[in-house]
Chains A and B, each alone.
Chain A
Amino acid sequence: DGGITQSPKYLFRKEGQNVTLSCEQNLNHDAMYWYRQDPGQGLRLIYYSQIVNDFQKGDIAEGYSVSREKKESFPLTVTSAQKNPTAFYLCASSSRVRTGVLSLHFGNGTRLTVT
C-alpha cells in the first residue's frame, strides 16, 4: 500500500545531541513537508520541499535541517540549537488532484522527547 512512513514512533535523546527523524513516501509525490505539533499551537511548518535537491524554510526552521536527495525521502535533523525540541513531528507529502486541489498525506508522526 502507498503511504508515508515515519520512524521511529517514539524517540528519546539527551539534550545537546543531534537527532534525525526519518520520513519515506512511496506515493511518487514531488512535495514533502515537516510540521511540529505542540499543545495549543496547531501544526507549524518547519521545512518543505517541492522537488528533489530543493527545500525552503517554513515558519520555525531555526534549529532544524533537512535534505532531499531522493524523491522518496525527506529526513529532518533536530540539532542541539533547537531550544524546545520535545514535540510531535509530522511528515507529509502532497499531490494535486485533477481539480487542482492540493491534497496532503501525513505520516503517523514521531514523538521526540529530549531530556
Chain B
Amino acid sequence: DQQVKQNSPSLSVQEGRISILNCDYTNSMFDYFLWYKKYPAEGPTFLISISSIKDKNEDGRFTVFLNKSAKHLSLHIVPSQPGDSAVYFCAPPPTGNTGKLIFGQGTTLQVKP
C-alpha cells in the first residue's frame, strides 16, 4: 500500500524558471508532510515541511502547497538553480506509533544552465 506517490520520475527545467514537484497521498489523517533532497552518493537532507493545518509553507526559494481536498502536495522552487538538481522525496509522518517512515519514489530534477 503506497501511502505517497510521486508520479513523475523526472523533471527538467531551465535555470531561472519554476520547478514544480508533485506528490499524492492516500491517508487524510497525516499531520504533516516532509520533503527531502538527495544528491548522488549522499544521504537525503531535510528540505521543508508543511503541517496539515496549513495550505502553504514558504522557505526562501522553496514553497510547499497542500491541497487537502485533492490529497495532493507540491513543492515549488523559484527561481530554479543548477545546484537544485537532485532527487526530491516526499514523506508522510509515521502512522500510529510504529515509527515506520515511508518515502515516495522520488522525482529527479535537472536544472539546465
Contact = CB atoms under 8 A, between A and B. Distances in A.
A41 interface: yes
A102 B94 CA distance: 8
A45 B100 contact: yes
Given A41-B105, A43-B89, A56 B100 contact: yes
Contact of B41 (A42, A56, A108): A108
A76 to B, nearest CB: 14
Interface in B35-87: 36, 41-46, 49, 51
Interface residues of B, number: 27
A58 B51 CA distance: 25
| Chain A contact patch, size range | 20 to 34
* 5 nearest A-B pairs in the assembled complex, by CB-CB distance: A106-B43, A42-B105, A43-B103, A50-B99, A42-B106
Nearest to A40: B9
A78 interface: no
Contact of B105 (A4, A40, A105): A40
B16 interface: no
Contacts of A33: 101
B20 interface: no
B105 A48 contact: no
B32 A48 contact: no
Given A42-B106, A43-B106, 13 more contacts: A33-B101, A43-B89, A43-B103, A48-B99, A99-B51, A101-B32, A101-B49, A102-B93, A104-B91, A104-B101, A105-B46, A109-B42, A111-B41
